[in-house]
Amino acid sequence: MAKEKIHLNLVFVGHVDHGKSTTVGRLLYDSGNIPEQEMRKLKEKAEELGKGGFEFAFIMDNLKEERERGVTIDLAHKKFESENFYFTIIDAPGHKDFIKNMITGASQADAAVLVVSANPSDGVQAQTKEHVFLSRTLGVGQIIIAVNKMDMAKFDEKRYGEVKKQVGDLLKTVGYKPDEIPFVPVASLLGENVTKKSDKMAWYKGPTLLEAINGLKAPEKPTGLPLRLPIQDVYNITGIGVVPVGRVETGVMKVGDKVIVVPGREGKGVNGEVKSIEMHHEMMQKAEPGDNIGFSVRGIGKKDIARGDVLGHADNPPSVATEFTAQLVVLNHPTVVTVGYTPVFHCHTAQVACQILAIEKKLNPATGEVLQENPDFIKNGDAAIVKIKPIQPMVIERQKEIPQMSRFAIRDSGATVAAGMCIDLVKK
């Protein structure tokens, strides 16, 4: 069997009317990932709804409501292959009220494509800024800029240059390096420069969008970091014993390793030894980041550990925080966030109620600079540095040490209220 292609999660972000879904649809169709007859059906449907030209967007906007409103609501996941990778494409909604979905989207993305319109009346919008900042906060390391709607800018190189400069300045403010980022002029509706070179933009010498995506760097597996494996479920299998299941986030786990699971039922941690590791019903000697595995452990009972606990090596146990400091962005709170607020934090597989002890600084969400010390409250759109106390022991790591274990979303009565990352913590 040929070596498997590397898997990447690719998120498409950008302002609502800049042509994100059309770009994704065009990419899937032109690269042969959508059959001709499915495309014909979508075209007829689009015309019937009086939305001719929306058929590419319809590929992603599978929900009926989205077709009628013409906006992306849910995160649509599609499989897609290029020469070097196979991708899960995440089309993240651009609308403000759907930004909470984008959080769950971007937090699992290896790379992002930011779609910005070159239409002279569009350009960089407040939402574009927010998406760039969020991509950064949520740890998306690589980004490609698709400058779309070049047809509306009459394929003018000067207009492309203006948009490129605007977006480049914005990327700089959050710490991306614009000279290392591919900018690709496209006209997605017409399919110009998406998968094939465009003769209408002969002045452009760089890659097509597909080539730029195929040229992404495979994310390095964080095998050099300490072992962290958040537990998803724990089974008791006759003849084998206790079998926890989870995905290795960082480090390497081998058969015979001495491990500890924290906080564990008593909050003290539970020690054991790895007897066997299995993935897709095959026995393995070791597991690496990204592997979804089941494993059997000597010395750990079914009642000792549960979902949300994290496994590490006994000589380098995961951090159980009694309190932590985080940088977060408030996305969707009905009123304001104040000291004393105690929502549920979703961090790796854990869901733990945490109380806000102090709001230390309010930040400019586009640049991260300090706007105010110790504000009374923060509201939608605000970014802040906040001190937090978990109500029961919870594993979280510092962003600069193990970024994969530092991110969280805050949910309250069914909605994502905020998202952020841990920048410091007090260990138990």
Here the CATH number for the domain that contains residue 268 is 2.40.30.10
pLDDT greater than 60 at residue 102: no
Residues 421 and 365 in one domain: yes
Of residues 115 and 19, more confidently modeled? 115
Q: Are residues 171 and 67 in the same domain?
A: yes
Residue 418, pLDDT > 70, answer: yes
Torsional class of 263: left (φ above 0), alpha (ψ -120 to 50), beta (otherwise)? alpha
Check residue 145 and give its pLDDT: 93
pLDDT reported for residue 105: 43
Q: Which of the four pLDDT bands, split at 50, 70 and 90, describes residue 134?
A: low
Same domain, 88 and 141: yes
Could you write out the three-class secondary structure of 163-200? Answer: HHHHHHHHHHHCCCCHHHCCEEECECCCCECCCCCCHH
Q: Note whether 18 and 153 are same-domain residues.
A: yes
Residues 50 and 158 in one domain: yes
Helix segments in 36-125, DSSP class H: 36-48, 55-60, 64-69, 99-106
Average pLDDT over residues 375-379: 95
Are residues 48 and 170 both part of a single domain?
yes
| H or E element in which residue 130 lies | helix 126-137
Q: Are residues 172 and 247 in the same domain?
A: no
Clarify whether residues 308 and 326 are in a common domain: no
Question: Residue 177 and residue 172: Cα distance in Å, rounded?
Answer: 6
> Which pLDDT score is estimated for 76?
42
Residue 90 lies in a domain: yes
**CATH assignment at residue 50:** 3.40.50.300
Same domain, 324 and 280: no
For residue 96, what pLDDT is reported? 43
Confidence of residue 333 (pLDDT cuts 50, 70, 90): confident
Return the H-helix or E-strand segment holding 274.
strand 270-279
Do the Cβ atoms of 46 and 53 come closer than 8 Å? yes
Domain of 243 in residue numbering reads as 229-313
Q: Residue 12: what pLDDT?
A: 81
Pick from 185, 214, 243: which residue ends a domain?
214
Percentage, residues of the chain above pLDDT 90: 43
Residue 223 lies in a domain: no
What is the biggest distance separating any 2 CA atoms in the chain, rounded to whole angstroms?
A: 70
The pTM (predicted TM-score) of the whole model is 0.66
Compute CA distances 28 → 67, 107, 210, whole Å.
18, 23, 10
Cα–Cα dist 87/214, whole Å: 10
Show Cβ contacts of residue 382 under 8 Å, excluding neighbours closer than 6 positions: 329, 330, 362, 363, 365
Highest mean pLDDT among 57-61, 220-224, 335-339, 345-349: 335-339
Whether 163 and 100 map to the same domain: the answer is yes
Highest mean pLDDT (candidates 57-61, 194-198, 407-411, 416-420)? 194-198
Domain count, the chain: 3
Average pLDDT, the chain: 83
Q: How far apart are CA 149 and CA 165, in angstroms?
A: 17
What is the band of 99 on the pLDDT scale with cuts at 50, 70, 90? very low
Question: What's the pLDDT at 62?
Answer: 54
**38 and 179 assigned to the same domain:** yes
